[in-house]
Structure 1
Amino acid sequence: MDAVVKALSARVDAHDAGEKIVHRPTREEAEAAVRTLIAYAGDDPDREGLVETPKRVAKAYRELFGGYEEDAGTVLAKVFEDVEGYGDMVLVRDIPFHSHCEHHMVPFHGSAHIAYFPSKGVVGLSKLARVVDVFARRLQTQETMTQQIADAVEDALQPRGIAVLIEAEHMCMSMRGVRKSGSSTVTTVFTGIFREEPAEQARFFTQVRLGK
Protein backbone atom coordinates (compact mmCIF):
# COMPACT_ATOMS: atom_id res chain seq x y z
CA MET A 1 0.00 0.00 0.00
CA ASP A 2 2.85 2.38 0.84
CA ALA A 3 4.30 1.79 -2.62
CA VAL A 4 0.99 2.78 -4.22
CA VAL A 5 0.81 5.91 -2.08
CA LYS A 6 4.37 6.87 -3.06
CA ALA A 7 3.66 6.21 -6.73
CA LEU A 8 0.76 8.63 -6.56
CA SER A 9 2.54 11.16 -4.36
CA ALA A 10 2.89 13.79 -7.09
CA ARG A 11 0.37 15.40 -9.38
CA VAL A 12 0.24 18.21 -11.91
CA ASP A 13 -1.41 21.32 -10.57
CA ALA A 14 -4.01 22.08 -13.25
CA HIS A 15 -4.28 25.70 -12.22
CA ASP A 16 -0.66 26.57 -13.01
CA ALA A 17 0.63 27.25 -16.49
CA GLY A 18 3.85 25.46 -15.53
CA GLU A 19 3.82 21.91 -14.30
CA LYS A 20 4.13 22.45 -10.58
CA ILE A 21 4.62 19.22 -8.68
CA VAL A 22 2.78 18.85 -5.39
CA HIS A 23 4.07 16.08 -3.14
CA ARG A 24 1.37 14.21 -1.27
CA PRO A 25 1.83 13.67 2.49
CA THR A 26 1.60 10.18 3.91
CA ARG A 27 -1.71 8.80 5.12
CA GLU A 28 -0.44 9.06 8.69
CA GLU A 29 0.32 12.76 8.21
CA ALA A 30 -3.15 13.31 6.73
CA GLU A 31 -4.78 11.58 9.70
CA ALA A 32 -2.78 13.73 12.11
CA ALA A 33 -3.98 16.84 10.30
CA VAL A 34 -7.60 15.71 10.68
CA ARG A 35 -7.06 15.21 14.41
CA THR A 36 -5.75 18.76 14.62
CA LEU A 37 -8.81 20.13 12.82
CA ILE A 38 -11.16 18.21 15.12
CA ALA A 39 -9.43 19.74 18.13
CA TYR A 40 -9.50 23.18 16.46
CA ALA A 41 -13.27 22.79 16.00
CA GLY A 42 -13.52 22.34 19.76
CA ASP A 43 -14.01 18.60 20.12
CA ASP A 44 -11.95 15.74 21.51
CA PRO A 45 -10.38 13.59 18.74
CA ASP A 46 -9.94 10.77 21.27
CA ARG A 47 -13.59 10.39 22.20
CA GLU A 48 -15.32 7.21 21.02
CA GLY A 49 -17.31 8.74 18.18
CA LEU A 50 -14.28 10.51 16.68
CA VAL A 51 -11.36 8.19 17.32
CA GLU A 52 -11.69 6.51 13.88
CA THR A 53 -12.69 9.70 12.07
CA PRO A 54 -9.18 10.66 10.87
CA LYS A 55 -8.83 7.32 9.07
CA ARG A 56 -12.28 7.67 7.52
CA VAL A 57 -11.61 11.23 6.36
CA ALA A 58 -8.25 10.33 4.83
CA LYS A 59 -9.88 7.46 2.94
CA ALA A 60 -12.78 9.65 1.83
CA TYR A 61 -10.41 12.30 0.52
CA ARG A 62 -8.78 9.80 -1.84
CA GLU A 63 -12.25 9.19 -3.34
CA LEU A 64 -13.59 12.76 -3.25
CA PHE A 65 -10.45 14.13 -4.89
CA GLY A 66 -9.73 11.19 -7.18
CA GLY A 67 -9.74 13.51 -10.18
CA TYR A 68 -6.11 14.39 -9.50
CA GLU A 69 -5.20 10.83 -10.46
CA GLU A 70 -7.17 10.85 -13.73
CA ASP A 71 -6.43 12.41 -17.10
CA ALA A 72 -9.21 13.85 -19.25
CA GLY A 73 -7.24 13.19 -22.42
CA THR A 74 -7.12 9.48 -21.63
CA VAL A 75 -10.86 9.42 -20.96
CA LEU A 76 -11.56 11.03 -24.35
CA ALA A 77 -8.88 9.15 -26.29
CA LYS A 78 -11.29 6.84 -28.15
CA VAL A 79 -12.90 8.77 -31.02
CA PHE A 80 -15.47 7.14 -33.31
CA GLU A 81 -15.09 8.47 -36.85
CA ASP A 82 -17.65 6.24 -38.58
CA VAL A 83 -20.83 8.19 -37.80
CA GLU A 84 -22.41 8.17 -41.29
CA GLY A 85 -21.55 11.82 -41.86
CA TYR A 86 -23.42 13.11 -38.80
CA GLY A 87 -22.44 16.71 -38.16
CA ASP A 88 -25.22 18.28 -36.09
CA MET A 89 -25.16 19.11 -32.41
CA VAL A 90 -24.37 16.39 -29.88
CA LEU A 91 -25.69 17.31 -26.43
CA VAL A 92 -25.37 15.51 -23.10
CA ARG A 93 -27.37 17.41 -20.51
CA ASP A 94 -28.07 17.13 -16.80
CA ILE A 95 -24.77 15.49 -15.85
CA PRO A 96 -24.82 15.56 -12.03
CA PHE A 97 -21.62 16.35 -10.17
CA HIS A 98 -20.29 17.37 -6.79
CA SER A 99 -17.06 19.23 -6.16
CA HIS A 100 -15.31 21.23 -3.44
CA CYS A 101 -14.65 24.95 -3.46
CA GLU A 102 -10.93 25.66 -3.36
CA HIS A 103 -11.50 28.73 -1.18
CA HIS A 104 -13.25 27.10 1.78
CA MET A 105 -13.06 23.36 0.92
CA VAL A 106 -16.82 22.98 1.28
CA PRO A 107 -18.98 21.29 -1.38
CA PHE A 108 -20.74 22.71 -4.37
CA HIS A 109 -22.95 20.57 -6.55
CA GLY A 110 -25.14 20.80 -9.61
CA SER A 111 -25.44 19.78 -13.25
CA ALA A 112 -23.26 20.16 -16.32
CA HIS A 113 -24.48 20.35 -19.92
CA ILE A 114 -22.01 19.74 -22.76
CA ALA A 115 -22.62 20.09 -26.50
CA TYR A 116 -20.38 20.05 -29.55
CA PHE A 117 -20.54 20.00 -33.34
CA PRO A 118 -18.48 17.02 -34.57
CA SER A 119 -15.62 17.49 -36.94
CA LYS A 120 -13.45 14.39 -37.06
CA GLY A 121 -15.71 12.16 -34.98
CA VAL A 122 -17.57 11.66 -31.72
CA VAL A 123 -16.83 10.15 -28.31
CA GLY A 124 -18.94 7.80 -26.25
CA LEU A 125 -21.60 9.78 -24.42
CA SER A 126 -20.54 8.39 -21.04
CA LYS A 127 -17.05 9.78 -21.63
CA LEU A 128 -18.34 13.34 -21.37
CA ALA A 129 -19.86 12.51 -18.00
CA ARG A 130 -16.56 11.02 -16.89
CA VAL A 131 -14.69 14.16 -17.95
CA VAL A 132 -16.98 16.20 -15.71
CA ASP A 133 -16.00 13.94 -12.81
CA VAL A 134 -12.29 14.20 -13.62
CA PHE A 135 -12.38 17.95 -13.03
CA ALA A 136 -15.12 18.02 -10.37
CA ARG A 137 -13.20 15.66 -8.08
CA ARG A 138 -10.58 18.29 -7.37
CA LEU A 139 -10.43 21.51 -5.38
CA GLN A 140 -12.12 23.83 -7.83
CA THR A 141 -13.81 27.03 -8.81
CA GLN A 142 -16.85 26.64 -11.01
CA GLU A 143 -15.40 29.05 -13.56
CA THR A 144 -12.18 27.07 -13.90
CA MET A 145 -14.01 23.76 -14.10
CA THR A 146 -16.21 25.05 -16.94
CA GLN A 147 -13.18 26.11 -18.96
CA GLN A 148 -11.28 22.89 -18.25
CA ILE A 149 -14.13 20.77 -19.59
CA ALA A 150 -14.31 22.84 -22.78
CA ASP A 151 -10.53 22.66 -23.25
CA ALA A 152 -10.52 18.87 -22.80
CA VAL A 153 -13.23 18.39 -25.45
CA GLU A 154 -11.40 20.79 -27.78
CA ASP A 155 -8.11 18.92 -27.41
CA ALA A 156 -9.69 15.52 -28.02
CA LEU A 157 -12.12 16.28 -30.85
CA GLN A 158 -11.25 19.62 -32.45
CA PRO A 159 -14.99 20.11 -33.00
CA ARG A 160 -16.55 22.96 -34.96
CA GLY A 161 -17.97 24.35 -31.74
CA ILE A 162 -18.32 23.59 -28.03
CA ALA A 163 -20.88 24.71 -25.46
CA VAL A 164 -20.49 24.02 -21.74
CA LEU A 165 -23.00 25.22 -19.17
CA ILE A 166 -22.72 24.48 -15.46
CA GLU A 167 -25.37 25.26 -12.84
CA ALA A 168 -24.42 24.75 -9.20
CA GLU A 169 -25.28 25.59 -5.63
CA HIS A 170 -22.33 26.49 -3.43
CA MET A 171 -22.36 25.50 0.23
CA CYS A 172 -19.91 28.31 0.99
CA MET A 173 -22.87 30.62 0.33
CA SER A 174 -25.60 28.58 1.98
CA MET A 175 -23.75 27.14 5.03
CA ARG A 176 -21.54 30.12 5.91
CA GLY A 177 -21.02 33.76 5.01
CA VAL A 178 -24.25 35.24 3.63
CA ARG A 179 -26.10 31.93 4.28
CA LYS A 180 -28.41 32.19 1.29
CA SER A 181 -29.55 28.67 0.47
CA GLY A 182 -31.13 27.85 -2.87
CA SER A 183 -29.16 30.37 -4.92
CA SER A 184 -27.44 28.99 -8.00
CA THR A 185 -24.44 30.04 -10.06
CA VAL A 186 -24.36 29.60 -13.85
CA THR A 187 -21.17 29.59 -15.92
CA THR A 188 -20.76 29.07 -19.67
CA VAL A 189 -18.09 28.61 -22.29
CA PHE A 190 -18.86 28.84 -26.03
CA THR A 191 -16.45 28.28 -28.91
CA GLY A 192 -16.71 28.05 -32.67
CA ILE A 193 -20.25 27.83 -34.05
CA PHE A 194 -21.81 28.39 -30.62
CA ARG A 195 -19.93 31.66 -30.19
CA GLU A 196 -20.24 32.89 -33.77
CA GLU A 197 -23.87 31.99 -34.49
CA PRO A 198 -26.42 33.26 -31.95
CA ALA A 199 -29.09 30.96 -33.35
CA GLU A 200 -27.05 27.87 -32.44
CA GLN A 201 -26.36 29.23 -28.98
CA ALA A 202 -30.09 29.82 -28.54
CA ARG A 203 -30.81 26.29 -29.75
CA PHE A 204 -28.39 24.94 -27.17
CA PHE A 205 -30.17 26.81 -24.37
CA THR A 206 -33.54 25.59 -25.66
CA GLN A 207 -32.40 21.97 -25.73
CA VAL A 208 -30.96 22.25 -22.22
CA ARG A 209 -34.19 23.73 -20.86
CA LEU A 210 -36.30 21.01 -22.47
CA GLY A 211 -34.92 18.68 -19.83
CA LYS A 212 -36.17 20.86 -16.96
Structure 2
Amino acid sequence: MDSQEQQAEFQYDTGGETTGPMAGFDEQKAREGARLLLEAVGRNPDEAGVYDTWYRRVPAMLETLTEGTRHEEKPVMRTFEAETDSLVVKTSIPLHSMCEHHLLPFDGVAHVAYRPDEEMVGLSKLIRYVRWQSRQLTTQEALTHDIATGLAEELNAGGVTVEVTATHMCEVMRGVETATETTTRAEAGSLTDADREQFRESVRRHSASAATR
Protein backbone atom coordinates (compact mmCIF):
# COMPACT_ATOMS: atom_id res chain seq x y z
CA MET A 1 0.00 0.00 0.00
CA ASP A 2 1.52 3.36 -1.01
CA SER A 3 1.40 6.52 1.08
CA GLN A 4 -1.55 7.97 -0.84
CA GLU A 5 -3.59 4.83 -0.20
CA GLN A 6 -2.66 4.95 3.48
CA GLN A 7 -3.76 8.57 3.70
CA ALA A 8 -7.01 7.72 1.96
CA GLU A 9 -7.72 4.92 4.45
CA PHE A 10 -6.84 7.11 7.45
CA GLN A 11 -10.15 8.98 7.47
CA TYR A 12 -12.53 8.76 10.39
CA ASP A 13 -16.21 9.50 10.53
CA THR A 14 -16.61 12.99 12.01
CA GLY A 15 -20.37 13.07 11.88
CA GLY A 16 -20.55 15.12 8.72
CA GLU A 17 -18.60 18.08 10.14
CA THR A 18 -16.23 19.99 7.94
CA THR A 19 -12.76 19.75 9.44
CA GLY A 20 -9.38 21.12 8.50
CA PRO A 21 -6.78 23.75 9.41
CA MET A 22 -8.04 26.46 11.77
CA ALA A 23 -5.86 29.56 12.11
CA GLY A 24 -2.70 27.52 11.63
CA PHE A 25 -3.94 24.61 13.70
CA ASP A 26 -5.00 21.39 11.94
CA GLU A 27 -7.85 19.97 13.99
CA GLN A 28 -8.29 16.90 11.78
CA LYS A 29 -4.65 15.87 12.09
CA ALA A 30 -4.84 16.36 15.85
CA ARG A 31 -7.84 14.01 15.96
CA GLU A 32 -6.08 11.42 13.84
CA GLY A 33 -2.93 11.58 15.93
CA ALA A 34 -4.75 11.36 19.25
CA ARG A 35 -6.76 8.40 18.00
CA LEU A 36 -3.60 6.60 16.90
CA LEU A 37 -1.97 7.19 20.29
CA LEU A 38 -4.94 5.63 22.05
CA GLU A 39 -4.71 2.62 19.75
CA ALA A 40 -0.95 2.42 20.38
CA VAL A 41 -1.48 2.00 24.13
CA GLY A 42 -4.20 -0.60 23.68
CA ARG A 43 -7.33 1.49 24.13
CA ASN A 44 -10.35 1.32 21.86
CA PRO A 45 -10.81 4.92 20.69
CA ASP A 46 -14.53 4.34 20.13
CA GLU A 47 -15.34 3.10 23.62
CA ALA A 48 -17.48 5.17 25.95
CA GLY A 49 -15.48 7.80 27.80
CA VAL A 50 -12.61 7.73 25.31
CA TYR A 51 -14.26 8.78 22.04
CA ASP A 52 -14.42 12.43 23.10
CA THR A 53 -10.77 12.25 24.18
CA TRP A 54 -9.43 12.04 20.64
CA TYR A 55 -12.37 13.64 18.86
CA ARG A 56 -12.78 16.77 20.95
CA ARG A 57 -10.74 17.15 24.14
CA VAL A 58 -7.16 16.57 22.91
CA PRO A 59 -7.53 18.76 19.79
CA ALA A 60 -9.00 21.58 21.89
CA MET A 61 -6.20 21.21 24.43
CA LEU A 62 -3.49 21.24 21.76
CA GLU A 63 -5.00 24.28 20.05
CA THR A 64 -4.82 26.21 23.33
CA LEU A 65 -1.35 25.01 24.29
CA THR A 66 0.16 26.03 20.93
CA GLU A 67 -1.24 29.58 20.82
CA GLY A 68 2.32 30.88 21.16
CA THR A 69 3.07 29.75 17.59
CA ARG A 70 0.30 31.93 16.16
CA HIS A 71 0.93 35.67 15.91
CA GLU A 72 -2.78 36.49 15.91
CA GLU A 73 -3.02 35.10 19.46
CA LYS A 74 -0.32 37.44 20.78
CA PRO A 75 -1.62 39.91 23.38
CA VAL A 76 -1.81 43.52 22.28
CA MET A 77 1.10 45.25 24.01
CA ARG A 78 -0.33 48.76 24.29
CA THR A 79 2.32 51.13 25.59
CA PHE A 80 2.31 54.59 27.16
CA GLU A 81 4.93 57.26 27.67
CA ALA A 82 7.61 56.11 30.08
CA GLU A 83 7.34 57.64 33.53
CA THR A 84 10.76 56.42 34.61
CA ASP A 85 14.00 55.12 33.18
CA SER A 86 14.55 52.87 36.20
CA LEU A 87 14.39 49.09 35.95
CA VAL A 88 10.86 47.64 36.08
CA VAL A 89 10.80 44.22 37.76
CA LYS A 90 7.93 41.70 37.77
CA THR A 91 8.54 38.54 39.81
CA SER A 92 6.78 35.20 40.10
CA ILE A 93 4.84 35.16 36.83
CA PRO A 94 3.22 31.68 36.57
CA LEU A 95 4.63 29.72 33.65
CA HIS A 96 3.31 26.52 32.05
CA SER A 97 4.73 25.11 28.83
CA MET A 98 5.28 21.85 26.95
CA CYS A 99 8.58 20.05 26.40
CA GLU A 100 9.12 19.47 22.68
CA HIS A 101 11.21 16.37 23.41
CA HIS A 102 8.64 14.37 25.40
CA LEU A 103 5.34 16.26 24.95
CA LEU A 104 5.09 16.57 28.72
CA PRO A 105 4.60 19.84 30.62
CA PHE A 106 7.08 21.88 32.58
CA ASP A 107 5.92 24.61 34.90
CA GLY A 108 7.26 27.13 37.35
CA VAL A 109 7.74 30.89 37.47
CA ALA A 110 9.31 33.59 35.33
CA HIS A 111 10.95 36.72 36.71
CA VAL A 112 11.08 39.56 34.18
CA ALA A 113 12.72 43.00 34.26
CA TYR A 114 13.16 45.69 31.63
CA ARG A 115 14.61 49.16 31.43
CA PRO A 116 12.17 51.43 29.56
CA ASP A 117 13.38 53.63 26.76
CA GLU A 118 10.58 55.97 25.73
CA GLU A 119 7.60 53.68 26.38
CA MET A 120 6.27 51.43 29.13
CA VAL A 121 3.62 48.74 29.26
CA GLY A 122 1.04 47.79 31.88
CA LEU A 123 2.33 45.16 34.30
CA SER A 124 -0.49 42.75 33.44
CA LYS A 125 0.77 42.71 29.85
CA LEU A 126 4.04 41.15 31.02
CA ILE A 127 2.02 38.27 32.49
CA ARG A 128 -0.02 37.87 29.32
CA TYR A 129 3.09 37.96 27.14
CA VAL A 130 4.86 35.27 29.18
CA ARG A 131 1.73 33.09 29.01
CA TRP A 132 1.48 33.53 25.24
CA GLN A 133 5.16 32.70 24.62
CA SER A 134 4.84 29.67 26.89
CA ARG A 135 2.05 28.12 24.86
CA GLN A 136 4.16 26.18 22.39
CA LEU A 137 6.28 23.05 22.16
CA THR A 138 9.71 24.26 23.23
CA THR A 139 12.56 23.90 25.69
CA GLN A 140 13.08 25.95 28.81
CA GLU A 141 16.28 27.42 27.41
CA ALA A 142 14.61 28.50 24.16
CA LEU A 143 11.55 29.84 25.96
CA THR A 144 13.65 32.00 28.29
CA HIS A 145 15.48 33.45 25.27
CA ASP A 146 12.25 34.02 23.34
CA ILE A 147 10.65 35.93 26.23
CA ALA A 148 13.69 38.19 26.64
CA THR A 149 14.21 38.99 22.96
CA GLY A 150 10.49 39.24 22.27
CA LEU A 151 9.87 41.73 25.07
CA ALA A 152 12.88 43.78 24.03
CA GLU A 153 11.42 44.07 20.54
CA GLU A 154 7.82 44.66 21.67
CA LEU A 155 8.75 47.40 24.14
CA ASN A 156 11.76 48.82 22.32
CA ALA A 157 13.37 48.48 25.73
CA GLY A 158 16.90 49.48 26.54
CA GLY A 159 17.45 46.10 28.16
CA VAL A 160 15.54 43.03 29.30
CA THR A 161 16.50 40.20 31.63
CA VAL A 162 14.50 37.04 32.28
CA GLU A 163 14.94 34.18 34.73
CA VAL A 164 12.82 31.03 34.59
CA THR A 165 12.72 28.31 37.24
CA ALA A 166 10.69 25.23 36.38
CA THR A 167 10.08 21.58 37.17
CA HIS A 168 9.89 19.18 34.21
CA MET A 169 7.40 16.32 34.24
CA CYS A 170 9.61 14.43 31.79
CA GLU A 171 12.00 14.05 34.76
CA VAL A 172 9.30 13.54 37.39
CA MET A 173 7.22 10.90 35.58
CA ARG A 174 9.96 9.08 33.67
CA GLY A 175 13.76 8.97 33.49
CA VAL A 176 15.16 9.77 36.96
CA GLU A 177 11.59 10.09 38.36
CA THR A 178 12.68 12.93 40.62
CA ALA A 179 11.26 16.42 41.02
CA THR A 180 14.00 19.03 40.68
CA GLU A 181 14.12 22.64 39.58
CA THR A 182 15.98 24.00 36.57
CA THR A 183 16.87 27.70 36.27
CA THR A 184 17.68 29.49 33.03
CA ARG A 185 18.49 33.15 32.34
CA ALA A 186 18.60 35.32 29.25
CA GLU A 187 19.26 38.98 28.46
CA ALA A 188 18.51 41.24 25.52
CA GLY A 189 19.73 44.76 24.96
CA SER A 190 22.02 46.51 27.39
CA LEU A 191 21.85 46.30 31.19
CA THR A 192 24.23 47.67 33.79
CA ASP A 193 25.73 45.71 36.66
CA ALA A 194 23.48 47.77 38.96
CA ASP A 195 20.44 46.63 36.94
CA ARG A 196 21.48 43.00 37.26
CA GLU A 197 22.03 43.33 41.00
CA GLN A 198 18.64 44.99 41.46
CA PHE A 199 17.02 42.16 39.52
CA ARG A 200 18.83 39.47 41.52
CA GLU A 201 17.87 41.15 44.80
CA SER A 202 14.20 41.27 43.73
CA VAL A 203 14.31 37.55 42.90
CA ARG A 204 16.04 36.77 46.21
CA ARG A 205 13.38 38.67 48.16
CA HIS A 206 10.66 36.80 46.30
CA SER A 207 12.30 33.43 47.00
CA ALA A 208 12.77 34.25 50.70
CA SER A 209 9.15 35.37 51.02
CA ALA A 210 7.87 32.25 49.25
CA ALA A 211 9.93 30.01 51.54
CA THR A 212 8.26 31.42 54.66
CA ARG A 213 4.69 30.94 53.45
Q: Same fold (TM over 0.5)?
A: yes
Segments of 4+ in structure 1 off by > 6 A? none
Paired residues for 1:70-109 under 5 Å: 70=71, 75-76=76-77, 78-83=78-83, 86-109=84-107
Compared CA separation, residues 32 and 159, structure 1 to 2 (3 A): closer
Within the candidate set 111, 119, 126, 1:128 is matched to: 126
Question: Distance between the aligned counterparts of 1:60 and 1:72, measured in 2?
Answer: 15
Name the residue aligned to 1:36. 36
Task: Give the % identical residues.
Answer: 35
The root-mean-square deviation of aligned C-alpha atoms, in Å, is: 2.2
SS in 2 for 1:52: helix
**8 Å Cα contact 1:114-1:165 kept in structure 2:** yes
Name the residue aligned to 1:61. 62
Compared CA separation, residues 71 and 116, structure 1 to 2 (3 A): farther
**8 Å Cα contact 2:85-2:115 kept in structure 1:** yes
Question: Distance between the aligned counterparts of 1:72 and 1:66, measured in 2?
Answer: 6
How far does residue 159 in structure 1 lie from its aligned partner after superposition? 2.2
Output the amino acid matched with 1:198.
Answer: D
Question: Distance between the aligned counterparts of 2:81 and 2:50, measured in 1?
Answer: 54
Name the residue aligned to 2:166. 168
How far does residue 172 in structure 1 lie from its aligned partner after superposition? 0.8
Instruction: Return 5+ residue gaps in structure 2 as ranges.
Output: 1-16, 208-213
How far does residue 187 in structure 1 lie from its aligned partner after superposition? 0.6
Question: Distance between the aligned counterparts of 1:82 and 1:205, measured in 2?
Answer: 23
Output the amino acid matched with 1:113.
Answer: H
SS in 2 for 1:105: coil
**8 Å Cα contact 1:71-1:134 kept in structure 2:** no
Output the amino acid matched with 1:187.
Answer: T
**8 Å Cα contact 1:114-1:164 kept in structure 2:** yes
Pair member with larger Rg: 2
Name the residue aligned to 1:13. none
How far does residue 73 in structure 1 lie from its aligned partner after superposition? 7.1
Name the residue aligned to 1:8. 23
Compared CA separation, residues 33 and 72, structure 1 to 2 (3 A): closer
Output the amino acid matched with 2:53.
Answer: T
Question: Distance between the aligned counterparts of 1:187 and 1:143, measured in 2?
Answer: 6
Q: Choose 146-155 or 61-70, whichever is displaced more.
A: 61-70
Name the residue aligned to 1:15. none
Question: Distance between the aligned counterparts of 1:82 and 1:150, measured in 2?
Answer: 19
Name the residue aligned to 2:196. 201
Output the amino acid matched with 1:208.
Answer: V
Compared CA separation, residues 118 and 188, structure 1 to 2 (3 A): same
How far does residue 180 in structure 1 lie from its aligned partner after superposition? 1.3
Output the amino acid matched with 2:111.
Answer: H
TM-score w.r.t. length of structure 1: 0.81
Question: Distance between the aligned counterparts of 2:70 and 2:76, measured in 1?
Answer: 12
Question: Distance between the aligned counterparts of 1:68 and 1:179, measured in 2?
Answer: 30
Name the residue aligned to 2:205. 210
Name the residue aligned to 2:8. none
Question: Would you say how many aligned residue pairs link Structure 1 and Structure 2?
Answer: 190
Compared CA separation, residues 74 and 53, structure 1 to 2 (3 A): closer
SS in 2 for 1:119: coil
